[in-house]
A and B are shown apart, each in its own frame.
Chain A
Amino acid sequence: MKEIRIGLIGIPNSGKSTIFNKLTGVYQIIGNWPGKTVETLERVAEFKGKQFSLIDFPGTQTLTPTSMEEEIARQCMIENRPDVIIQVASAIDLERSIYLSLELIELEIPIVVALNQFDEAIKLGFEIDAKKLSEILGVPVVPTVAIKGEGIDKLVDEAFDLAHSRSKGKIMVDKDIKPQINKVMSIIKGFLPDRYPSEWFAIKLFEEDSWVAKKIDELDVENRLRGVLEEEKAFIKKSTGLSPSLFIVNKRRLIAEKIANEVRKIKPVSRSRLIESLDSLSTSFYGYPLLAVVIATIFVVTLGVGLLFRDMVSYLFFELSSYFAFNIANPLLGAILSGVQLSLLVGLSFIIPVVFLFHFFFSLLDDSGYLPRAAFLIDKAMRRIGLNGKAFIPLLLGYGCNVPACVTCRVLEGEKQRFVTALMITLIPCASRMIIIYGLIAIYIGMVTALGIYLFNLFVVLLIGMIVGSSVDLRCESIGLVMVLPPYRAPLLKNALKKTWARAKDFVYLAMPIIIIGTVLLKILEIAGIMEHLNALFNPLFVGIFGLPGYVLSFLLFGAIRKEFALVFLMTTLNGNPLSYLSPNQIIIFTLITLFYIPCIATFTTLLRELRLNRTLIIAGINLLIAIIVGFSAHVILPLIGWPYPKRL
């Protein structure tokens, strides 16, 4: 028997990722803001002995794409038709969910609706008649509470039944314009490959969908189509007073509203006072200081606990190393052992606490529903640059890790907006660069300078956003913010911990081994005298421009793999004591360069996929240019103003 293929789709914030996880057992990031599913993945899944392949579509409000991820979702759905689609509908956002159901039904793919967040709807006083909804739409509707796993069994059963019966819902949007649609459909029908639903194509031609129009052009449909289409469009316009495309969207929406009101009873309930006041606080003027406090708390607690942890680990290492004194005669073996020891010390004391804590706090923030509120507040400022408030979410996530932040740019409308936002993200110090600021500046120079570097960085990010934004003429393309705010939810500790692990595990599995091997290699290079050559070769250049010794080049090269490597290899090469080799100014200049000079390999490959080669190279070029300008300026200016103050030692 052929394995059945199930597609999973839903509007943002409907709980689609949770259902995905229940169906596959794989942990996918769940968050409380639009746009987590960032790639369309097909994978083999098994649920209670039933095998199937599951295609995960990104969250989409409608099948009329305005952002890249919606475009991807739709193309994949048409070109790569699943046997059945599970639509995750939100019981607390019924109109928009039904709107998507109507569009899916038009695609003539069998669908089953998971009426999710059923418990939240009851809390909000919504009483929804799932049976009635099912009768009206002509498709099965299963109430679910995905987060608790309720209704998932039934959902899978229905999907399997449907894959065999292949029964489809009723198309409703064509009611008043049936003759017009039929006329166009009869012309294109003979030319469409079987997998293309002909009525859907006809409807989309009336909706002036550019992708469909292009497909029809490619298919060489009879010439008379154009004339007939124009004629029928004119007829609709004359009889309804609306352009056909708006008439159809309007109609669909009105049908969705009518159905929602038929199946839903609303009982007034009082919302929790705490949530109510938190909601009103976070969107009022006090939301700005609140935002500052939230972000500052994350940074201060992470750095504070990180410092404490570092002292503990260093102490432990000292105790331990006195037991295992390395008096090894063989220099090669000695280099290997000291390399391993140093890299473990640096990895455990510097990086692990910071990475884990930081991702943990961001996960809590992500789940709470706070970020879209911050986006609402900050919209005006973002519009100044030419972006909209939604771009604030990827930018803020950039402080955690640039990679998911760049992928998240897909939720933004418009290519230029995505490009400018991605460029700004690459300049934002992620957790890895935070480790450098913390490990070099906070520890050896002082907290004030560390904070100053963050502020200076923010200034550069905004400045570059403004310069590049106006030079690519962002304003003409970017549309303003139109975003549904999800309700506040208390983040679950279990979810946050899982998400932290999902984001931080790369460090343990991938980065730690590279750090150990790299450190050992550098130690060997050092005893072989190769470091001296490298030093000599690049010395004039680095001393001249930045006032830095040439050997920092090797740290920067490692930093291109992962940013924190620049710190790790600096520390291990300088025997854990940078101040005896570099002046405080040199440390500041080095840190500034590492902030900007290049996107790390993971970010680079992500950008390649998201923006293609030329734009990725432009971003990398701008990064390098900024690093050179900033590094050189710091070299000239820092001695003039007598920073850092107060001087240590």
Chain B
Amino acid sequence: MDRTIALTRLDKGKVAMIEEINLDNLTKKRLMALGLLPGSRLKVLKIAPLKGAILVDVGGRPLAISRDVAEKISVEEVE
């Protein structure tokens, strides 16, 4: 069963592993340098009200990501 979903569909508090990032290479590199890369774990800390940006914990630091960017990040929930 394929359990891969977009990061935007994760609820607050959920932990997931990044499967794939479907963005242009430059944005992808930037995300990777900040710790968002396939295989790394993240936790959804907060979703801005009114379906806004998403705050995730990566490597112990909070990272804010626009919703349209988060939509392009596929993750698999682990907990």
A binds B: yes
In chain A, residues 85-136, which have Cβ atoms closer than 8 Å to a Cβ of chain B?
92-93, 95-96, 99
Annotate B65-76 by CB proximity to A: 1 below 8 A, 0 otherwise: 111111000000
Residues of B within 8 A of A482 (CB): 27, 30-31, 34, 36, 63-66, 69
B1 within 8 A of A: no
Q: Tell me whether A368 is interfacial, beta carbon within 8 Å.
A: no
* Binary per-residue interface labels of chain B (46-65) against chain A in the complex, 1 for a CB within 8 Å, 0 otherwise: 10111111010001111111
A207 contacts which chain B residues (CB < 8 A)? 29
How far apart sit A501 and B44, CA to CA, in the bound complex (Å)? 41
Who on chain A is nearest to B33 by CB? A62
With a cutoff of 8 Å between Cβ atoms, the chain A residues found around residue B78 in the complex are: none
Interface class of chain B by DSSP:
mixed
Q: Kindly list chain B residues whose C-beta atoms are within 8 Å of the C-beta of A266.
A: 60
A527 in the interface (beta carbon within 8 A): no
Question: B36: nearest residue on chain A (CB-CB)?
Answer: A482
In the complex, residue of chain A having the shortest beta-carbon distance to the beta carbon of B65: A482
Binary flags per residue of A236-247, CB closer than 8 Å to B gives 1, else 0: 000000010110
Known: A253-B35, A481-B53. A377 touches B48 (CB 8 A): yes
Chain A interface size, under 10 / 10 to 19 / 20 to 34 / 35 or more: 35 or more
Q: Do the beta carbons of B37 and A253 come within 8 Å of each other?
A: yes
CA distance A375 to B48 in the complex (A): 10
Asked if B64 and A379 make an inter-chain contact with CB atoms under 8 angstroms apart, the answer reads: yes
Does B38 reach chain A (CB closer than 8 Å)?
Answer: yes
How many inter-chain contacts with C-beta < 8 Å in the A-B complex?
129
Contact of B63 among A64, A280, A485 (CB under 8 A): A485
Within the assembled complex, what's the spacing in Å between the Cα atoms of A482 and B42? 14
Smallest CB gap from A279: residue in B: B62
- Distance between A447 CB and nearest chain B CB, rounded to angstroms: 30
Nearest chain A CB to B54 CB, angstrom units: 9
Interfacial chain A residues near B36, Cβ < 8 Å: 482
**With an 8 A cutoff between CB atoms, is A509 at the interface?**
no
Interface pair A249/B66, CB less than 8 Å apart: no
A-B contact pairs, 17 of them (CB 8 A): A64-B30, A66-B29, A243-B25, A246-B32, A249-B29, A253-B33, A257-B35, A260-B59, A283-B48, A375-B64, A380-B50, A380-B51, A389-B53, A481-B64, A484-B34, A484-B62, A485-B61
Complex A-B, nearest 3 residue pairs according to Cβ-Cβ distance, in ascending order = A480-B66, A380-B52, A480-B69
